[in-house]
Structure 1
Amino acid sequence: MERNIMGEFDMYRQAGTTPNFTDIARRYGMNRHTVAKYWKAGGQVEDARRCRPSGLDRHREVIEAKAQLPGATKRGIYEYLIDRCYAGEEPPAYNTLTKWMRRNGIECGRPPEGPEPHPRFETAPGEQMQFDWKESLRMADAEGEVFEFNVFSATLGYSRLHRFVYSRTRTEDDVMACLLAVMAANGGTARTLVTDNMSSIVSSSASGRRVSARFARFAAAAGFELELARPRSPQTKGKVESSNRFLSRLAVYEGDFRGEEGLVAAIARIEARCNTEPSASTGVPPAVLFMREKEELRKVGNMGLLESMVADVSVQAAPPTMLVRCRGREFSVPRRCIGRRVKVLAMPSGQVRVEMAGETVAVHDLSAPGGPVVYDPAHYAEALAAKARYADADIEAAARANLELLGRLGEGSL
Structure 2
Amino acid sequence: MRKDVFNQLKLIKEDISVLNKSELARRFNCDRRTVDKYLNGTNAESRKPRDIKSKIDDFKEIIIDKVDNWGSNSMAVFKFIQKKGYDGGYHTVNNFIQNHKKEEIKKATIRFDTSPGLQAQVDWKESITIISRQGEIFEVNIFLMVLGYSRLKYLKLTVDRTQKTLFECLFQGFKYFGGVPKEILFDNMSTVVDRSKTTFKNVTINQDFKYFSIDAGFEVITCRPYRPETKGKVETLAKLVDRLTPYNEEFDSFDELENIVEVFNYEINNEISQATYEVPFIRFLKEKEYLNPLPPMDILLSYFHHEKEYKVSKESMIRYKGKKYSVPTSYIGKYLTVSEKDSELYIYYTKDLIACHKISEKILHYKIDHAKEILKSDALKHYSDEDIENFIEQNLKNMDIFLEE
Task: Give the TM-score normalised by structure 2.
Answer: 0.54
Q: 1:23 is matched with which residue?
A: none
Q: How does 1:54-69 map to 2 (within 5 A)?
A: none
1:391 is displaced (CA, Å) by 11
Secondary structure of 2:126's partner?
Answer: strand
Q: Does 1:155 align with 2:136?
A: no
Task: Indicate the residue corresponding to 1:369 in structure 2.
Answer: none
Structure 1 distance, partners of 2:338, 2:140, is 15
**In 2, are the aligned partners of 1:277 and 1:286 still within 8 Å (CA)?**
yes
- The partner residue of 1:197 within 170, 188, 193 is 188
Match of 1:175 among 152, 166, 187: 166
Q: Which amino acid aligns with 1:152?
A: F
1:154-183 residue CA offsets vs partner (Å, 9 max, x unmatched): 000101111111111111110101111111
Query: Partners of 1:163 and 1:149 in 2: how far apart?
Result: 16
Does residue 136 of structure 2 align to residue 145 of structure 1?
yes
Is 1:299 the counterpart of 2:290? The answer is no
1:132 touches 1:152 (CA, 8 Å); kept in 2?
A: yes
Structure 1 residues 120 and 273, CA gap change in structure 2 (3 angstroms): same
1:340 aligns with none
Deviations 1:19-68 (A, max 9, x none): xxxxxxxxxxxxxxxxxxxxxxxxxxxxxxxxxxxxxxxxxx789999x9
From 246, 249, 272, the equivalent of 1:252 is: 246
Give distance in 1, aligned partners of 2:225 and 2:209. 20
| Secondary structure of the structure 1 residue equivalent to 2:168 | helix
Give 1:128's aligned amino acid.
Q
Q: Which residue of 1 aligns with 2:118?
A: 127
- Quick one: which amino acid aligns to residue 170 of structure 1? R
Counterpart for residue 271 of structure 2: 277
User: Is the partner of 2:185 in helix, strand or coil?
Assistant: strand
1:382 to 339, 359, 363: 363
Whole-Å separation in 2 of the counterparts to 1:308 and 1:226: 20
Deviation of 1:132 after TM superposition, in Å, equals: 1.7
Q: Structure 1 156/254 Cα, relative in aligned 2: closer, same or farther at 3 Å?
A: same
What's the CA shift string for 1:73-98, capped at 9, x where partnerless? 9xx9xxx9xxx899xxxxxxxxxxx9
Could you list the runs of 5+ residues in structure 1 that have no partner in the other structure?
A: 1-60, 87-97, 315-321, 338-351, 363-371, 374-378, 399-414
CA distance in 1, matches of 2:143, 2:167: 11
- Gap change, CA 1:383 and 1:165, over 3 Å in 2: same
1:214 to 195, 208, 217: 208
**Offset of residue 212 of structure 1:** 2.4
Aligned Cα RMSD in Å?
4.9
**Per-residue deviation, 1:133:** 1.4
Give the conservation status (yes or no) of the 8 Å contact 1:278–1:285: yes
Q: 1:353 to 1:273 in 2, by over 3 A?
A: farther
Equivalent position to 1:234, from 214, 228, 233: 228
Note the 1:366-381 alignment, pairs <5 A: none
How many residue pairs end up in the alignment?
A: 271
What whole-Å deviation, never above 9, does each CA across 1:255-285 have from its counterpart, x for those lacking one? 2222111111111111111111101111001
* Displacement of 1:381: 7.6
Supply the AA of the counterpart residue of 2:295. G
Alpha-carbon distance in 2 for matches of 1:263, 1:150: 12
Is the 8 Å Cα contact of residues 145 and 153 (structure 2) preserved in structure 1? Answer: yes
Paired with 1:152 and 1:354, the residues of 2 have a C-alpha distance of 25
Distance 2:396 2:226 in 1: 56
> Separation in 1 of the partners of 2:305 and 2:193?
20
Question: CA 1:205–1:239 in structure 2 vs 1: closer, same or farther (change >3 Å)?
Answer: farther
Query: How far apart in 2 are the matches of 1:253 and 1:286?
Result: 26
Give the Cα separation in 2 of the matches to 1:206 and 1:246. 36
Please state if 1:332 is matched with 2:313. no
Against the structure 1 CA distance between its residues 271 and 64, is the aligned structure 2 distance closer, same or farther, given a 3 Å change threshold? farther
Contact 1:183/1:189 (CA < 8 Å) preserved in 2? yes
Structure 2 counterpart of 1:226, which letter? V
Alpha-carbon distance change, 227 to 63 in structure 1, aligned in 2, over 3 angstroms: closer
For each residue in 1:349-398, what CA deviation from the matched residue of structure 2 results, as whole angstroms up to 9, or x when unmatched?
Answer: xxx998889xxxx9xxxxxxxxx99xxxxx9982279x9958999x9xx9
Q: 212-221 vs 178-187, which deviates more?
A: 212-221
What is the CA distance between 1:108 and its match in structure 2? Answer: 8.2
Verify the 8 A CA contact 1:333 1:354 in the aligned structure 2: no
Distance in structure 2 (CA, Å) of the matches to 1:242 and 1:355: 36
For 2:339 and 2:226, the matched residues in 1 are separated by 36
Give distance in 2, aligned partners of 1:184 and 1:355. 18
**For the structure 1 residues 114 and 214, does the alpha-carbon distance in structure 2 shift closer, same or farther, using more than 3 Å as the test?**
closer
Amino acid at match of 1:110: N
Q: Which runs of 5+ in 2 are unaligned?
A: 1-53, 68-72, 326-336, 346-353, 367-391
The CA deviation at 1:195 is 0.3
Counterpart residue type for residue 240 of structure 2: L
How far apart are residue 129 of structure 1 and its match? 0.8
- Name the SS of the counterpart of 1:183 in structure 2: helix
The answer as to whether partners of 1:323 and 1:333 remain within 8 angstroms in 2 is no
Pair member with larger Rg: 2
Q: What is the TM-score of this pair, normalised by structure 1?
A: 0.53
Distance, in Å, in 1 between the alignment partners of 2:188 and 2:101 is 31
Who is 2:34 aligned against?
Answer: none
Q: 3-state SS of the aligned residue for 1:177?
A: helix
Paired residue secondary structure (2:114):
coil
Q: CA deviation at 1:247?
A: 1.7
**Cα distance in 2 for residues equivalent to 1:308 and 1:172:** 13
Rounded to whole Å, the distance in 1 between the matches of 2:237 and 2:307 is 32
1:243 pairs with one of 236, 243, 248: 236
